[in-house]
Structures are given as C-alpha cells and as structure tokens.
Amino acid sequence: MAHGINESLTFTPVSIAVLTVSDSRTMDTDTSGANLQRMIEAAGHSIAARKIVTDDKLKLAAQVQSWIDDPDIDVVISTGGTGLTGRDVTPEAIRPLFEKELDGFSIVFHMKSYESVGLSTLQSRACAGLANNTFIFCLPGSNGAVKDGWEKVIRLQLDSRHKPCNLVELMPRLSER
C-alpha cells in the first residue's frame, strides 16, 4: 500500500480538545462543535475538553494556551473565526502560539475544500501548528468545512495506521532537542 490506512497495524487513540469560536452559539446550537466531537469519537479518539469562546483574541489565546500547557491533551481543534470579517480573529489569536507552523495543512485543506465549495475556499484562513508537543488545527466554522477538514485531512493524519507517515508516530519525538 503506497498510502492510506494499513488495517493490520494497531490504532493508537489520542486526546483531543475541541474549541468553537463564536459570539452567538451555545452548546445547544453548536452543530459544528457537536459534529466534530461525534466524528472524533467515532474515529476512536477521546474528547479531553469542549468549549465555546467568543471571537476575542485574548480569550481565544488564553484557552488554547491552557490546553497546550495540559500534558494530557495531544491535539486542539478549533472551529470558527477563520474568515475575513472583522470578528474573525482565530488565526491572529492562535498563530502566535505556534512554535512551528504546519504550512502543508492549509494547502491540503484548501485542495480538499475546493472539491466541495470551489473558489469560496479562498475565504478561509484555516491553519495548523505545533506548540509544546500539541498539534493545533484551526478550521472554519461551517459544518461542511469541519467535515472536510476532519474526514479528508486531520482524521487520516491522526490515525497511527496511516502510511507512509502520520502525526501520531511523531508525538513521542516532538520534544527532542
């Protein structure tokens, strides 16, 4: 198998925190966060935390930093705030926390998103990075973008059976100096 899931290997679950960035959603109306949680759990991973934070740079950065500082959280995935309007501040809040940016994530996300929404994908500033041995992914807030981001990109890289390589196999080596 050149690339894809090798079913003969053992799956290694990771611990994921989900952050919805919104001024208007509540836990009852947060369909993107709920769908993301459902897909994460269906893939065999665990939800370490799930919160909603308003479109406020300081609050967003503080919440993500607290999860980066938590050794029991392997991955943070946010949904929302990656657009172009004045309230969309997720990249501005989260990128400064990155020790390393995963530039390829944005490229691959946009390739997959283009298949669903065409040129409208250019309105997203989806990004990803690494900080304190924690992978961070910032997805748009629509259900379609969350599904594309999880199912077509993140899920595969968080599956320890994905070959030729995946992010899970890098986790034990992230703190190498």
The answer to whether position 177 is within a domain reads no
pLDDT at position 142 is 95
The answer to whether position 75 is within a domain reads yes
CA dist 127 and 143 (Å) reads 17
The answer to whether position 6 is within a domain reads no
How many helices (H) and strands (E) would you count in the chain?
6, 8
CA dist 157 and 166 (Å) reads 5
Domain span at residue 67 reads: 13-169
pLDDT at position 168 is 97
The answer to whether position 84 is within a domain reads yes
Domain holding 106: CATH number?
3.40.980.10
Residue-wise pLDDT tens for the chain (177 aa)?
Answer: 468 999 999 999 999 999 999 999 999 999 999 999 999 999 999 999 999 999 999 999 999 999 999 999 999 999 999 999 999 999 999 999 999 999 999 999 999 999 999 999 999 999 999 999 999 999 999 999 999 999 999 999 999 999 999 999 999 999 998
The DSSP letter of residue 3 is S
The answer to whether position 3 is within a domain reads no
Residue type at 78?
S
Contact 44, 63 (CB under 8 A): no
Sequence-distant (≥ 6) Cβ neighbours of residue 144 within 8 angstroms: 116, 117
CA dist 157 and 3 (Å) reads 11
SS3 128: strand
CA dist 60 and 24 (Å) reads 15
pLDDT at position 77 is 98
The answer to whether position 25 is within a domain reads yes
Helix H segments across the chain?
A: 31-42, 57-68, 90-94, 103-117, 143-149, 155-157
CA dist 154 and 3 (Å) reads 15
Residue 80: closest CA among 155, 145, 27:
145
The answer to whether position 164 is within a domain reads yes
Q: What are the φ and ψ backbone dihedral angles of 79, each rounded to 5 degrees?
A: -135, 125
pTM of the model: 0.97
pLDDT at position 177 is 86
pLDDT at position 2 is 66
Domain count, the chain: 1
The answer to whether position 22 is within a domain reads yes
SS3 132: coil
pLDDT at position 109 is 97
